[in-house]
Chain A
Amino acid sequence: MRRILHALALGTVLIATAPGLLLAARKAPGALMPATAKPATNRTSAEPSTDATALSKPVASAAVAKPSPDPNAAAVTTVTIERDRPVREKLPTLRFLKANRDFIRARFDHLRQESHVEHAGADAIDPRFVEYRQLLAAIAAGKDSVMRASDARERQGVFTSVEDLARLEHELDEMERLLDAQRTRLGLLQADFAGRQRTELDVLLTGGNILGGRVDSVRVTFEDGTTVSSALNETQRTSIARGGVLEVFRGLVEPRAQVLELALLGEGWSATGHGFVTLEPARDRLTFLKLDLAEARPALGIGSVAATTWLLDTSPQGSQDPSLRSAEATRDRP
């Protein structure tokens, strides 16, 4: 919860020049992005971000090609974009099932479907929810005790003895315990609902050069054939050339080594802007892949696009980096 508020406060240093487009303050990549700032979506339903909700997500724009010396900063790794699809080891799997597919398929087909009338059983209640209620009930009970003591005190009117002062101190202790209990409850709520990060990939586009062709759209194809694409208008092209970052894709991905097929489409790029990147998104982490067009030229092909990847730093140190608070937005590319 604190991270989200902190991130929203930081969002004020970002300048949006177009929907879904961010001009981000120069900052070590991956330093801060609230894990729950945007619900993760499955790839089949994911769309490139083109709404203003992206404003709540500080997006780094620094192009770093080697691990950052800052131990608190997420390590940035340069990845290679290849023209040809990398050849990967093809491991056989489920050999028994495949060898006996007809038999097993036939067994399933012969399973007789029967209707049963059953009482609908309720699902088991998540024990966490019971615990929240118990915590709240305990806090409420404690609050009642404090209220009763307070009423009694008011009835007595004034404190005239040392015993009254001792009683007051006891009440203060009781209040302190209530605050601790509330703090514990909120901590549990935050851990259970605000801290869960699933395996996600965020593909970002930045840079751009007016002399280096014109990118009209970016297409990303995953190994299972799913394709997402993001079109750029003139405003967005100008913005990313000045340091803005366009989110091409954000969604759930499988936590395994995989090859992404990238295609830059547009004047000069359609013939040469096609390549492959091998990535291994870390499980239950947000992985960024940034494509920097600053030095890219159509004549040099897709290999001239600088690609880097890093993980979102969700540690308390990362989210409380003081340098973020002093970051300044600029319209000029650093």
Chain B
Amino acid sequence: MDDRTPRSRNRSVPAGLVFAGLLAASPGAAADAPPFAARTGLELASTAAQSWAPDARLVYVENDEAVDAGGTSTRWGYLFYSPSEDRARVWSVRGGRIAAAENLDMRFDAPPVAAGWLDSGRALAAAEQGGGAAFRQSAHAQLQTMLLMRGAFSEGDPDVTTWTVVYSTPGAPSLFVVVDATNGKVQRTWRG
């Protein structure tokens, strides 16, 4: 439990959450690509998704390379789900180009994220103010993951699209900060 933030709740630890090896790979591949905010690559990914399936809708966004202090990354992954295909496909954007594309080998008929979601920079700023910065300093933690989705991490209203910002520290539970992606307010935090 994170006692440093007033919004903290005593949440049960999501036992399945795994961080081993996340973002540790392929440092050289992204060396030359400029970092960008998550929304920047959305249009390109959407173009690809529309060529794949006309009813494709964005259901999930995650940084594929490390996120810096400004909420930008050199590579973001955009997952789309097509009801007609009943499949999900991800496009990873780097340097204004699609660096990878693959079908997700799991059923993921997630609801689409809200259209006007806040960009990663504003979401990270909110998370930092909502306990992330304090946790980084006190626990020598680092920003690990930013992910955008609807429903799964939202506690009160499952219909809300949220950014979930994950800070990890060796040998201790990570800090999760859930930010409402429509108004930038921290919805909740927990250690797990």
B90 touches A256 (CB 8 A): no
Number of B positions contacting A (CB below 8 A): 54
The proximity string for A residues 133-177 relative to B, scoring 1 for CB distances below 8 Å and 0 otherwise, is 000000000000000000000000000000000000000000000
* Least Cβ–Cβ distance between B46 and chain A, in angstroms: 11
B172 contacts A by Cβ under 8 Å: no
A residues 81-131 in Cβ contact with B at 8 Å: 89-97, 99-108, 111-112
B47 touches A97 (CB 8 A): no
A94 touches B51 (CB 8 A): no
Contacts of B64 in A (CB 8 A): 91-95
B26 touches A91 (CB 8 A): yes
Contacts of A19 in B (CB 8 A): none
A92 touches B16 (CB 8 A): no
Known: A91-B99, A91-B100, A103-B16. A97 touches B51 (CB 8 A): no
A95 touches B79 (CB 8 A): no
User: With A and B bound together, what is the CA distance between A34 and B77 in angstroms?
Assistant: 34
Known: A91-B29, A96-B147, A100-B16. A256 touches B97 (CB 8 A): yes
A199 contacts B by Cβ under 8 Å: yes
A111 touches B99 (CB 8 A): no
A111 touches B151 (CB 8 A): yes
A6 contacts B by Cβ under 8 Å: no
* Least Cβ–Cβ distance between B27 and chain A, in angstroms: 12
The proximity string for B residues 89-104 relative to A, scoring 1 for CB distances below 8 Å and 0 otherwise, is 1111010011111111
User: Which of the candidate stretches B2-10, B17-25, B125-133 sits at the interface with the other chain?
Assistant: B17-25
User: With A and B bound together, what is the CA distance between A89 and B15 in angstroms?
Assistant: 32
A328 contacts B by Cβ under 8 Å: no
Known: A96-B62, A108-B110, A224-B103. A254 touches B51 (CB 8 A): yes
Contacts of A235 in B (CB 8 A): none
A284 touches B26 (CB 8 A): no
A43 touches B29 (CB 8 A): no
B44 contacts A by Cβ under 8 Å: yes
Contacts of A101 in B (CB 8 A): 106
A104 touches B62 (CB 8 A): no
Most buried by B among A97, A107, A224, A252: A97
* Least Cβ–Cβ distance between A198 and chain B, in angstroms: 7
Contacts of B104 in A (CB 8 A): 94
Contacts of A99 in B (CB 8 A): 17-20, 22
Known: A100-B18, A199-B51. A255 touches B98 (CB 8 A): yes
A91 touches B92 (CB 8 A): yes
A253 touches B51 (CB 8 A): yes
A95 touches B29 (CB 8 A): no
User: With A and B bound together, what is the CA distance between A112 and B145 in angstroms?
Assistant: 27
B1 contacts A by Cβ under 8 Å: no
The proximity string for A residues 241-268 relative to B, scoring 1 for CB distances below 8 Å and 0 otherwise, is 0000000000011111110000000000
Contacts of B103 in A (CB 8 A): 224
B183 contacts A by Cβ under 8 Å: no
A42 contacts B by Cβ under 8 Å: yes
B98 touches A256 (CB 8 A): yes
User: With A and B bound together, what is the CA distance between A192 and B20 in angstroms?
Assistant: 49
B158 contacts A by Cβ under 8 Å: yes
Contacts of A93 in B (CB 8 A): 62, 64, 75, 77, 90, 92, 100, 102
A residues 263-315 in Cβ contact with B at 8 Å: 283-284
A223 contacts B by Cβ under 8 Å: yes
Partner of A102 from B16, B91, B101 at Cβ < 8 Å? B16
* Least Cβ–Cβ distance between A86 and chain B, in angstroms: 15
User: With A and B bound together, what is the CA distance between A33 and B26 in angstroms?
Assistant: 42
A107 touches B151 (CB 8 A): yes
Contacts of B29 in A (CB 8 A): 89, 91
Pairs A-B, 5 closest by C-beta atoms: A256-B98, A103-B16, A252-B51, A107-B152, A99-B18
| Cross-chain pairs A/B with CB under 8 angstroms, 23 sampled | A43-B52, A91-B92, A92-B64, A93-B64, A93-B90, A94-B62, A94-B90, A95-B21, A97-B60, A99-B17, A100-B17, A100-B18, A102-B16, A103-B14, A104-B152, A105-B106, A105-B107, A107-B153, A224-B89, A254-B48, A256-B98, A256-B101, A257-B97
